A and B are shown apart, each in its own frame.
Chain A
């Protein structure tokens, strides 16, 4: 893309983005060793490499996601799906290359994140609402809609630790889906709960996705990818192995990746 070409209002652009996790051992985190390493200079290079193992979770990924994107991420455990999602949500900044995100972005990587077990359902709605960027008044105003969807009845005024896992999921899902971001990033969130809930959840999710401009979901479930996505990227060892239509991507994954040797950390 040339610089003169106009970019849309909402987009995500990755330019040779790399994410390298340095794993420090206890000695690697110690101040003394860091100072010694510096004062001894290059000599310790072999030692330094012995201290830190690195995991390249994302390797030189270039990608453009414009308005209307409904992208499914496919890959084995450890292929870099969650890392890529978190990078898209602005949690990880790339260690090399750039990631540009234009537009408001919400990530649903862990539905119950930010919930407090000792607080009541009502208090949790407020907490999560504020974390999602709502004002205090807005966070209170979403209560009715969430009560209606989650069907918690009088449980709403009890601490959430007394909830069954199904009730907790209904509440968490309802809160997470009450905002209207430009970009929505999801990590395998649905597919749990009973049939009735699943149907209502899907309806609510569809309404949410319809209003977002860029939607990215990582999933191991081909049905979910087929239902929500129009494009598939297959990730392997942190790189893009395939980028194209849904059926092509799922077929590529089945033929070339499923069941092969899992990724390993590189020293």
Chain B
């Protein structure tokens, strides 16, 4: 019964794709209305982050600057996508309090809105690889095709996180705080600013068993010109399955209480 509720809600949310595309585009347009650069502020601020961190950490970690810049221009946009999907997942319904009390849209509408918003930001950030690759004399390889299943995995991750933590975060207002602490901590133990090979052998497990690292790797490796590792995809697949197995019944059972908890 709970499963069926969740499936019906997801299906109705997909059928109502026009609503969340409009919700997302309006949300972004609203944020950048009357600014000259508009949504390209995403790109510019990402460029500042990558150049600044590249300069300091390239020196600290003793990395060749341009090569390191290319790594960061890939790993940072991917990290922001993964981390923001994770921390935003607990606020999907809290942020949608007003429309949720006036429209009977399926709850997954707001989860899709969160995913689409983050994909949109990612699309603006990832264009940085064009100048950086030109600078570094690097090129994409056929392995880049594996970015497509990686994006699909991010979307699925956003769906189950949104179903599970959207509900929990609305009921228990500590959950959004917990999730944002976890993602900021995860930033330091995930190879965003450093290459996994720099991790000493005895600490390699931090990278190998870290779901954030696996999610990052399945998108980063193909952009770097390598085929993704089976072990990373294995971990992502496992977590996605377990995630949906927990999220579906929770969502199906408690979705109808969300309006009361807002």
Query: Does B238 belong to the interface (CB within 8 Å)?
Result: no
Query: Does B171 belong to the interface (CB within 8 Å)?
Result: yes
Q: Which residues of B contact A92 (CB under 8 A)?
A: 259-260
Interface mask (B163-184 → A, CB under 8 Å = 1, otherwise 0):
0000000011111001000000
Complex Cα gap A114–B102 (Å): 9
Which DSSP category, helix, strand, loop or mixed, fits chain A's interface? loop
CB distance from A191 to the nearest CB of B (A): 20
Interface mask (A38-57 → B, CB under 8 Å = 1, otherwise 0):
00000000000000000000
Q: Which residues of B contact A127 (CB under 8 A)?
A: 22, 26
Query: Does A15 belong to the interface (CB within 8 Å)?
Result: no
Q: Which residues of B contact A195 (CB under 8 A)?
A: none
Name which of A105, A107, A131 has the most chain B CB atoms within 10 A of its CB.
A131
Interface residue total, chain A, C-beta cutoff 8 A: 31
The answer to whether B172 touches A110 (Cβ under 8 A) is no
Query: Does B185 belong to the interface (CB within 8 Å)?
Result: no
The answer to whether B101 touches A116 (Cβ under 8 A) is no
Complex Cα gap A116–B18 (Å): 17
Binds B, one of A4-12, A21-29, A219-227, A231-239: A21-29
Q: Which residues of A contact B30 (CB under 8 A)?
A: 116, 118-119
Complex Cα gap A116–B23 (Å): 11
Query: Does B229 belong to the interface (CB within 8 Å)?
Result: no
Using A21-B260, A29-B173, A34-B172 as known contacts, say yes or no to A107 and B102 having CB atoms under 8 A apart: yes
| CB-CB nearest in chain A for B104 | A90
Q: Which residues of A contact B26 (CB under 8 A)?
A: 116, 119, 127
Among B20-68, those with CB < 8 Å from A are 22, 26, 29-30, 33-34
Residues of A within 8 A of B (CB): 21-22, 24, 26, 29-32, 34, 86, 89-93, 95, 105, 107, 109-110, 113-114, 116, 118-119, 126-127, 130-131, 135-136
